[in-house]
């Protein structure tokens, strides 16, 4: 598959009102295309769009809750009505919770809210945009934001890890399906380590009744040492990484060095048990 040209690309980026999404939106706009800056907070989306325009780029803010299937279909209709196509889809919007908590100290509502945004937000993006991207028959690209927590075990962060593992799973299958069917659309999974974004305060967007500060939540008592990927980097560093991954059609984009020791240990454990199917 030929490399994609971003010179005149039409891009749609969710969670683009700040942080990683904002960085990706700025970089895409810097290549000469038009970027739809989508965020649940319209003021934030508008600020990024205005900043892009001040720098000579083309950007349009849109407000959308990625967890709302109908709302995502509506904005997809608006994008295709305005621009006639979509070349790059970045499913980046995500949320987290504080304090970290053990799986048994979380509520069902905690799990449900996390999956609604982090996983079904990606699903809604794919179902709303991908069929029409395929129908275009042109080179396109999709970026789905997962997390370094998928590559490691992070006690106290089980809900987030589960939601991002789901993103990881669907992205790999999607890339294979598009390759099988001969569609010229690449898929990249973005694995951010610690990045200085507002995700730790994302419960500000949650219904008051379900929020952690509306009830007593037992914080998880951390035992493990800080991992290298927990050394924070600025969001502005991530956008260029993602652009390079898109242009080179890379399946993965990591913001920090890969945790090779952890991944190799997993492989050894998969092979444990002398080929016993149960891995006993």
Question: Which residues are designated catalytic?
Answer: 160
CA 97 – CA 107 distance, rounded (Å): 12
CB-count burial class (<10 Å; 0-12, 13-18, 19+) for 157? buried
Supply angle C-alpha 153, 116, 16, rounded to 5: 85
CA 29 – CA 63 distance, rounded (Å): 18
CA 211 – CA 98 distance, rounded (Å): 10
Report the largest interatomic distance among the alpha carbons of the chain, rounded to a whole angstrom. Answer: 62
CA 250 – CA 72 distance, rounded (Å): 26
CB 58 within 8 A of CB 33: yes
Cα 56 to the chain's mean position, in Å?
26
- Which residues have a Cβ under 8 Å from the Cβ of 78 and sit 6 or more positions away? 62
CB 222 within 8 A of CB 4: no
C-alpha count within 13 angstroms, C-beta hemisphere, residue 256:
21
In terms of DSSP H, where are the helices of 181-259?
A: 238-247
């Amino acid at each position: 598959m030929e490399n994609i040209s971003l010179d005149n690309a039409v891009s749609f980026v969710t969670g683009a009102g700040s942080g990683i999404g904002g960085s990706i939106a700025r970089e895409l706009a810097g290549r000469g295309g038009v970027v739809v800056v989508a965020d649940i907070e319209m003021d934030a989306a508008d600020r990024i769009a205005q900043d892009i325009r001040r720098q000579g780029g083309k950007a349009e803010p849109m407000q959308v809750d990625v967890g709302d299937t109908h709302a995502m279909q509506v904005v997809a209709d608006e994008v295709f009505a305005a621009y006639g196509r979509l070349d790059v889809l970045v499913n980046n919007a995500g949320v987290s919770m504080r304090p970290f908590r053990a799986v048994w100290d979380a509520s069902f509502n905690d799990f449900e809210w996390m999956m609604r945004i982090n996983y079904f937000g990606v699903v809604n993006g794919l179902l709303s945009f991908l069929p029409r991207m395929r129908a275009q028959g042109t080179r396109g690209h999709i970026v789905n934001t997962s997390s370094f927590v998928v590559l490691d075990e992070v006690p106290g962060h089980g809900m987030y890890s589960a939601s991002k593992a789901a993103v990881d799973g669907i992205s790999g299958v999607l890339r294979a399906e598009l390759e099988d069917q001969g569609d010229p659309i690449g898929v990249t999974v973005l694995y951010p380590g610690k990045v200085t974004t507002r995700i730790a305060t994302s419960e500000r967007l949650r219904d008051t009744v379900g929020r952690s500060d509306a009830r007593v939540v037992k914080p998880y008592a951390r035992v493990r040492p800080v991992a290298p990927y927990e050394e924070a980097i600025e969001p502005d560093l991530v956008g260029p990484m993602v652009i390079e991954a898109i242009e080179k059609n890379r399946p993965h984009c990591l913001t920090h060095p890969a945790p090779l020791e952890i991944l190799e240990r997993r492989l050894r454990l998969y092979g444990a048990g002398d080929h016993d199917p149960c891995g006993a």
